[in-house]
Structure 1
């Protein structure tokens, strides 16, 4: 979900940028997004202890991920469309305050409804910040420094993807699951303090219109990308959200080893990000398809041979590489699909990501409740296969035709 936005915001020349780079503000923005993504993903490593403490099933506890994703899916586009008159400095501060309050509410939640309400508030902060972060970074530095500013943002998100699940699992093991959210509250306080201290006044640029969204949705390539993203990420969320219950229950792995497995997934995902970027430069469709196939193969091996520890680590690493590569690849596809409506197409893709995460959390919860710990893992594989078929069998031929046409024109 995390690298989907690079192409979804204005080009550097479309908004007034500073003559001098404001790197402290970029850093504060990047740290805030790092904290938000870390907090979004924490429940992946916390579902069993959260469920036990709150007195609910693991499937119900898994909806903590769903609540955040549903709200984030709607908050981002709404903010892009309707916050044009607000100074972005104040918007960033308000979203940072929402993050802090949400994290504190998670720490003190004593029932599942209270936890879900806190996670919904987190979705407001996440969706709004993610919708604005790249465009803000482009306005905080001169045009020649934009790539470096974006690299700072994406590095923070990549680190969050690596540490969130294993760190949450480790903290819940030595302290409690509430300690993990207390850490998030500390992240939120640091980020908000930095943003208040460094963020300059940023008069709003004009957001995209509803007409631009309609034009983007009429493009077949955009629809192919949205469908592929939804299938792959919905299935992936169903599987990864309930990976810890599978490892502890189905594979009979202890908590310490579970943390190592989740760390393996995160580290592999970081390298998958790099690989996805390199492959996407040649063919976004092929890169997205290969990432989806890697997820399908790895989850099939994990579900069928998960009793072997070596298979668990290897399959999880391959899964992480595939998942790390996929968002970068599908974002590159999205950028090429609608270059004239980059903001709108990017907002649509971001919404597709969050809806897929929400749907995956619900689907995985139903699977583990009604079938077994293995069912969500198989679900991830089947959904990834469907997504791979869409982008490789439908998207790849259209990509070849588009490339051939561009070569002929040049």
Structure 2
């Protein structure tokens, strides 16, 4: 496996400019995928749908992301991974345009489906590409840097989207993202080195990984953890409006706090996640599940809610780094196949968490998705334990 970008006649060098390009793509993906969270209420009103139905705009992108994550590495065959990433970024640009001009709920869902293709394809390849851009010992650092894009999007996309949506309308918020994605498309072409396919991916590689008991257990634990997070996060705005009783300005401040806390998580991920990932695996479900319990108990207080959202936001950005580091350490012989399965598992859990959360919201109450989130977190922590059963025996 090639861990660095090699130049003829010179020693291997880490391509940090390419890592930064990937980080911007992550920021735009996160902003595009979860912008409906901060605009859920006005989007529902504008499209004549319920908040629960509009929440499915996130789930439909997850549905297509699951399919794309499983198929993209096989469909791409021997194509250069650089140009696959460029094509996927173009799909993100197309999706934003479709959502911005959507005259109906159906067109909105089509735009979100196109985004799902980009999400699934990008994340399926992302960790494998990072493993080729930097030396093996720098992979956790590079992952943390790439996921800094997630912290940036979490810090600014939701609060700015909520604020600007209240002034200009939700469609203009999506239009505002398009020039940034266009710049990222050009940056990919310049910064990413040529990344020829190292081996032809097929279904057998996926099946071989699924035969490994530790990897299956890790996928299930990952799914429970992500499902817990997004059955709550997708419906955070209605909770803050109905339970905490905030207006748009206060909502924007709270979302900004949550997002800025992500920089703490990114720093902590780069600082502390080194070597064995096992001790960190249960932290996302444990900490974020605990914060959700706190919101259920203290959500009527704006100050307490802000504090709990800071805790949730900090762990949210560590979440991906922890689990992708686990994948890079325990499936380094088949990184693209492992990436496909990990992304499929994560997107499936987001899909299920969002769908079930929407049904609980529409059918019971705003607190119901949060209770469901806590239940999933408990199952995740129980399955992970001390994390040792999720490690490759050959690596321990």
TM over 0.5: yes
Partner of 1:123: 116
Q: Deviations over 1:265-313 (max 9, x none)?
A: 2222332344356555465343222321112221111012211112111
Whether contact under 8 Å (1:68, 1:120) holds in the other structure is: yes
Distance 1:282 1:145 in 2: 11
Task: Give the gaps of 5 or more residues in structure 2.
Answer: none
* Aligned partner of 1:359 among 352, 377, 381: 352
Distance 2:242 2:62 in 1: 26
Partner of 2:206: 213
* Aligned partner of 2:256 among 239, 250, 263: 263
The CA deviation at 1:203 is 3.5
Question: For residues 1-400 of structure 1, what are the structure 2 equivalents within 5 Å?
Answer: 11-12=2-3, 26-136=19-129, 150=143, 152-197=145-190, 202-276=195-269, 280-281=273-274, 284-392=277-385, 396=387, 398=389
The CA deviation at 1:114 is 0.8
Distance 2:350 2:175 in 1: 24
SS of the aligned residue for 1:86 comes to coil
Distance 2:22 2:262 in 1: 23
- TM-score (norm. length: structure 2): 0.88
The CA deviation at 1:391 is 0.3
Q: Deviations over 1:230-270 (max 9, x none)?
A: 11211211110100001001221111111121222222233
Distance 1:372 1:137 in 2: 42
- TM-score (norm. length: structure 1): 0.85
Change in Cα spacing, 1:287 to 1:378, as seen in structure 2 (3 Å) is: same
Change in Cα spacing, 1:23 to 1:388, as seen in structure 2 (3 Å) is: closer
Q: What CA RMSD, in Å, does the superposition of the two structures yield over aligned residues?
A: 3.0
SS of the aligned residue for 2:281 comes to helix
Report which stretch shifted further, 54-63 or 280-289.
280-289
Distance 2:228 2:137 in 1: 39
Task: Give the gaps of 5 or more residues in structure 1.
Answer: 1-9
Count how many residue pairs are aligned between Structure 1 and Structure 2.
393
Distance 1:240 1:400 in 2: 29
Whether contact under 8 Å (1:33, 1:126) holds in the other structure is: no
